[in-house]
Amino acid sequence: MSETFKAIKVTDNVYWVGAIDWDVRNFHGYLTSRGTTYSAFLILADKVTLIDTVKAPFFDEMMARITSVVAPQKIDYIISNHAEMDHSGSLPRTIEATKPEAVFASKMGQKALDAHFHMDRQITAVADGETLDLGNMKLTFVETRMCHWPDSMVSYLHERELLFSQDGFGMHLASYERFADELPRDILDYESAKYYANILLHLSTFINKTLKKIADLGIPLSMVVPDHGPIWRKKEDIERIIGSYARWAAQEPTNKALVVFDSMWGSTAKMARANGEALTAGGAIVRLMSMNVCHRSEVVTELLDAGAFIVGS
C-alpha cells in the first residue's frame, strides 16, 4: 500500500509541502543518525507562491502534498531562498510542471541556479530588502550571505509574521511531527547544536551579522520555519533557538574540556583517561571521545562550547 502524502497546515493560508528522508545517514560527511526533512512551503495568497523545493528524488512527494491543497498549475511564483541541491534539486521539474509566472532568487542565487541547471527559464533576481506583492499578502527578502552559502536569503511573510529562514535555525531530524513543541526538548537541543556545529560554526562571524540584521529590522516573529527540521511556533522556543545561535556564534568557551584520542594498543587511551581524571579533579566538565567509536560530527558537536580541546594519537 503506497503512502498518501498530504500538506500540513502551518498557519492560515500557509502549508508545509516538503519531504521526509528517513534513510539518509550521510550529509556532506555529517552523520544524520535521525534522518532529515527537506521543507518546502506553499502560500495560498492571491498569487499562489511556493517557497523552495526539495531534493530531486523527493519531487513526487512534494507534488503530492501540493496537489492535496491546490492544483500545481495554479502556482504563480516560486521563491528559491537557497540554491543548494537539497532545496533546489526539484526546481527544474517543478517549473516544468507548474509553469509559474516568475521564479525569484537572490542575485547570487540567480547565478548559482543558472550554473547548476542551465535553464532556459529566466530567474528574476531580487534585491536585499525588496518586497514582492502577492495581492493580499507581502513577502520581503533579506540577504543572509554565507549563512551558509553566498546566495542565502530569508523571506518574511508580513501578514503571518512568519520567517522562512532556509538553513538557519534548522536541524537534521526526520519526524512526522512538524512543530518543535511536539518533539522532546533534549532531541531539539542536541540536533540544533549538532547542525550549527557541523554546518555553521566556521561561519559564526556571518551568523552574528545576520542575527543583528534581522533584529534591526524590528519585525515581529510569530513563527520561524527552516528548510530542515521542525517549525518554531512558540514564543519561548523562538527566543530559545535565536538565543542559542547568538551564544554559539559568540564562541564563548564554557568549563568543558573535550579529550579526543585514537589508540592502537591502548597506551594513548590510558593517557586520555588520565587527562580526563585530572581535568575533572580540577573542576572541568570532561567529555572523553575515542575516534574508534565516535563519529567526527559528534566530536565537532561537543567542541561547539568546549573551553579546552586535547587531542591524543
Catalytic sites, residue numbers: 28, 82, 84, 86, 148, 167, 195, 228
* Main-chain dihedrals φ then ψ at residue 298, nearest 5 degrees: -70, -35
Does residue 9 come out as left (phi exceeding 0), alpha (psi in the -120 to 50 range) or beta?
Answer: beta
Task: Give dist(CA 33, CA 27) in Å, integer.
Answer: 10
Determine how β-strand 285-290 pairs with β-strand 131-133. Answer: unpaired
Beta-strand ranges (E) seen in 19-134 are 19-21, 26-27, 30-31, 36-38, 41-43, 49-51, 77-80, 102-106, 124-126, 131-133
What is the identity of the amino acid at 153? M
E-strand stretches of 17-94: 19-21, 26-27, 30-31, 36-38, 41-43, 49-51, 77-80
Long-range contacts of 155-161 (CB under 8 A, 24+ apart): 155/51, 155/79, 155/81, 156/217, 156/219, 157/14, 157/43, 160/11, 160/12, 160/13, 160/14, 160/222, 160/223, 161/219, 161/220, 161/221, 161/222, 161/223
Answer yes or no: are the C-beta atoms of 21 and 55 closer than 8 Å: yes
CA neighbor of 190 nearest in space, from 301, 85, 105, 80: 301
- Positive or negative, the CA dihedral 129, 132, 135, 137 is negative
Helices first, then strands: H and E counts in the chain:
9, 19
* Torsion angle of the four alpha carbons 1, 63, 228, 150, in this order, in degrees rounded to the nearest 10: 150
